[in-house]
Amino acid sequence: MYNQGVLEVSLKGIIFDFDGVVVKSMEQHFEAWQKAFAEKNVTINPDEFFIMEGQGIHTISRKLGQKYGLTEKDVMDIMNRKVNYYNQFMHIEFYDYFDVLLERINKKGWPVGVVTGGSRSRVEKIINQYFNHTFDCLVTVDDVQRGKPYADPFLKGAELLHLEPQECVVIENAPMGIEGAKAAQMTVIAITTTLEPHHLSEADFIAHDFKEVEKILYQLFGGSDK
């Protein structure tokens, strides 16, 4: 855990990414992508997918398709197959200590939301099932014209939380999300759930698990972690 300087700002709310942060799902997403691309005789590795995480299925499929010289039809086929495979693989799993952290945040009364590159239909279903009334807002790829790495989804999240962007702390696991949050002038805590720290160096803080995230949050908000 480290930070890149003392942050002189009054922080009031917290925004979580979803896949790879709220839910342990990135491995399932990668397996689905891997199988879909294999049908077009393309082999992808985890890092080249994880580093693109947060941009939404359309952007990811097109960028990887272009990288491997695939046609538009191939890209559309892969995207559809990926969704089918993910629905087969999907099971809900959470990271250690995340539930404890979220409960403590709620008890503090800090506004908390989710900003994700995932689809509203999928993410909202999981939130309603497992986190009903826990999050004060949800922004998905379907709610903005420009998703991560643009600032737009984070600015929308701050607006829905009735906060200024500079009053928000973002918990992210991927460079595109970090870039978008920083563009929105938010403080960023990166967590190494899917990528090594050197991929996350643009964040203000890096944590290796949610206990470290909690310590950083209490440091930033000036409260006790007891």
Distances (CA, A) of 124 to 2, 94, 120: 33, 16, 5
Mark whether 118 and 196 lie in a shared domain.
yes
Rg (the chain; Cα; Å)? 17
Mark whether 78 and 168 lie in a shared domain.
no
* Percent of the chain scoring above 90 in pLDDT: 75
DSSP conformation class of 157? H
Domain contains 58: yes
Mark whether 147 and 80 lie in a shared domain.
no
Mark whether 81 and 97 lie in a shared domain.
no
Domain contains 17: yes
Domain contains 226: no
pLDDT category, 2, cuts 50, 70, 90? very low
Reply yes or no on whether the pLDDT at 167 is more than 60.
Answer: yes
Count H helices, E strands: the chain? 9, 7
Per-residue pLDDT tens digits for 137-164: 999 999 999 999 999 999 999 999 999 9
Over range 69-92, report the average pLDDT.
90
CATH number at residue 36: 1.10.150
Domain contains 143: yes
Q: 26 and 19 in contact (C-beta within 8 Å)?
A: yes
Mark whether 77 and 114 lie in a shared domain.
no
Domain contains 47: yes
Mark whether 20 and 31 lie in a shared domain.
no
Per-residue pLDDT tens digits for 86-103: 888 788 999 999 999 999
Reply yes or no on whether the pLDDT at 76 is more than 70.
Answer: yes
Mark whether 78 and 106 lie in a shared domain.
no
Give the position of tokens 């590795």. Answer: 45
The pTM of this model reads 0.86
Mark whether 130 and 51 lie in a shared domain.
no
CATH number at residue 98: 3.40.50.1000
Could you list the residue range(s) of the whole structural domain that residue 12 is in?
2-24+93-221
Mark whether 115 and 200 lie in a shared domain.
yes
Q: Which of 34, 64, 89 is the last residue of a domain?
A: 89
Q: 212 and 1 in contact (C-beta within 8 Å)?
A: yes
Mark whether 68 and 107 lie in a shared domain.
no
Q: Which of 89, 117, 132 is the last residue of a domain?
A: 89
Helix, coil or strand: residue 182: helix
Reply yes or no on whether the pLDDT at 27 is more than 60.
Answer: yes
Domain contains 53: yes
Over range 23-33, report the average pLDDT.
89
Over range 46-68, report the average pLDDT.
86
Reply yes or no on whether the pLDDT at 226 is more than 60.
Answer: no
Domain contains 116: yes
| Residue-level pLDDT at 28 | 87
Mark whether 81 and 7 lie in a shared domain.
no
Mark whether 83 and 170 lie in a shared domain.
no
Over range 200-204, report the average pLDDT.
97
Round the average pLDDT of the chain to a whole number and report it: 91
Over range 171-175, report the average pLDDT.
95
Structure tokens at 169: 């702390």
Total count of domains within the chain: 2
Q: Which of 89, 121, 138 is the last residue of a domain?
A: 89
